[in-house]
Amino acid sequence: MKTSSTKYHGNGSSHGESSSSTTKTHRRRDSHEKSNYEEVGVIGNGAYGTVYKGRDLKNDGKFVAIKKIRIQNTEEGMPMSAIRETSLLKQLEKFEHPNIVRLLDVLHNQLTETEIRLLLVFEYIDQDLATYLERCSSPGLGPDRIRDLMLQLLNGVDFLHAHRIVHRDLKPQNILITSQGRLKLADFGLARIYSFHMQLTSVVVTLWYRAPEVLLQGQYATPVDLWSCGCILAELYNRRPLLCGQSDVEQLRKIFELIGLPSEEEWPENVSLPRESFRSRPPQPLEKYVPEIDPIGKDLLEKLLCFNPHRRISAREALNHRYFRDDIDSFRTSSSLSTSETDSFDTDGRSDTPVSK
């Protein structure tokens, strides 16, 4: 604001609406905005900037999560992409979807001539899915709890996709779990701001939930999120990530070890990596990787971890999968035909709510 205040002084006050009053207002407003929130600590350093824990001073000091994003100021003021993405987030907020983290406020200030800082204030939820799974005592989540979490996850993803937003980075670290067990998606919708105006950071982005088309072609359409959902479904059972590659190529190799190397016809065109660079192998039975999964869950998982993005199940279709149908489920549990093992576990001290220490 400094440049502008000096400038306002320079205006002279000969024209009707006096300039000096303008200056005062700017200052007042600026300090006023800042005093609304007080930072109390750092929550995490993401690839895209830092997230702070703060207090909303106007709201009884309630905790909030403040995400700070630096964006380049242009000749034409705030970049169009940043303006559009942020206003889309605000628009989305009007629906108050239960599986989406609440966006409480948007602030911004000018850091330097060329840099603007955008502050997004979200509700504070102290537990993400990764922590939730860590805290979960042996023998893990029961099948009902897994199904409930999966239903909430797909509901959130379906909502985003219905509003033409691709999350692009779904992973346990940005899926939040409230103390009431509600699942909420965070960190979506800003991907395009980041990719245009991202600062180079040394933070390593995890590849473990990336769809093969992202790794091969850098393609980002809605199916990429469903692949991530598949990885997460497996992780809910195993309580550890499904495929942990350390590089793009290693991640792809691990994917093909599981689902088999796609056929020549399935292999996409215009990919720098030829199909020949991977060893030909048949798909592995999923229960080898996810021993506790029942046949219906396995069917859904197979449809999520489909190589071809066009044939991969959509969020809407997944929600209609019989995995989520109660009648089937009651049949499943009452008859104990197939998965008697997991069922007996369920009555055997398996917690639906992990014990937080």
Partner 1 sequence: MPCWYFEKKDIKNSPSFRDGVDTLTEARYRREGARFIIDAGTKLGLRYDSCATGVVYFHRFYMFHSFKEFHRYVTAACCLFLAGKVEETPKKCRDIIKICQSLLSPSLFAVFGEDPREEVMTMERILLQTIKFDLQIEHPYSKVLKYAKFVQGDKEKIQKMVQMAWTFINDSMCTTLSLQWEPDIIATSLLYLASRLTKFEITDWQGKIPGTKIKWWDAIVEDISMELMEDICHQVLDLYSPENRKKDESPSLSPQTPSNKPPGGQPNAGGTPSKNRRAVRQLNNFSEFTLHLYKTTEFLKGTNTKAPHGLPTFSSILLQIDFEFQI
Provide the binding-site residues for partner 1, judged by CB under 8 A: 3-4, 7-8, 10-11, 14-19, 21-22, 25-26, 29, 33, 75-78, 80, 83-84, 86-91, 93, 104-110
The tokens for 76 are 């034409």
Q: How far is the CB of 53 from partner 1 (least distance, A)?
A: 21
CB 330 within 8 A of CB 127: no
Q: How far is the CB of 203 from partner 1 (least distance, A)?
A: 26
The smaller minimum CB distance to partner 1, of residues 18 and 199, is found at: 18
Residue 169 falls in the annotated catalytic set: yes
Report DSSP state, residue 61: T
The smaller minimum CB distance to partner 1, of residues 22 and 127, is found at: 22
Catalytic residue selected from 169, 225, 294, 346: 169
Instruction: Please name the amino acid found at residue 4.
Output: S
Q: Is 357 annotated as a binding residue?
A: no
Q: How far apart are CA 349 and CA 174, in angstroms?
A: 29
Q: How far is the CB of 101 from partner 1 (least distance, A)?
A: 14
Q: Is 132 helix (H, G, I), strand (E, B) or coil?
A: helix
Q: How far is the CB of 90 from partner 1 (least distance, A)?
A: 5
Number of H-type helices and E-type strands within the chain = 14, 7
Q: How far apart are CA 284 and CA 303, in angstroms?
A: 14
Strand duo 115-123 + 103-110: pairing:
antiparallel
Q: How far apart are CA 302 and CA 311, in angstroms?
A: 11
Q: How far apart are CA 97 and CA 8, in angstroms?
A: 43
Q: Can you tell me which residue has the tokens 């350093």?
A: 45
The answer to whether the bond into 283 is cis (omega within 30° of 0) is no
Q: How far apart are CA 88 and CA 83, in angstroms?
A: 9
The smaller minimum CB distance to partner 1, of residues 16 and 282, is found at: 16
The tokens for 64 are 């909030």
Q: Burial level of 190, CB count in 10 A (0-12/13-18/19+)?
A: buried
CA angle 157, 90, 169 (to 5 degrees): 35
Residue (of 40, 89, 35) closest to 63 by Cα position:
40
Q: Give me the active site residues, please.
A: 169
From the annotation, which residues make up the binding site for ATP?
Answer: 68
From the annotation, which residues make up the binding site?
Answer: 68
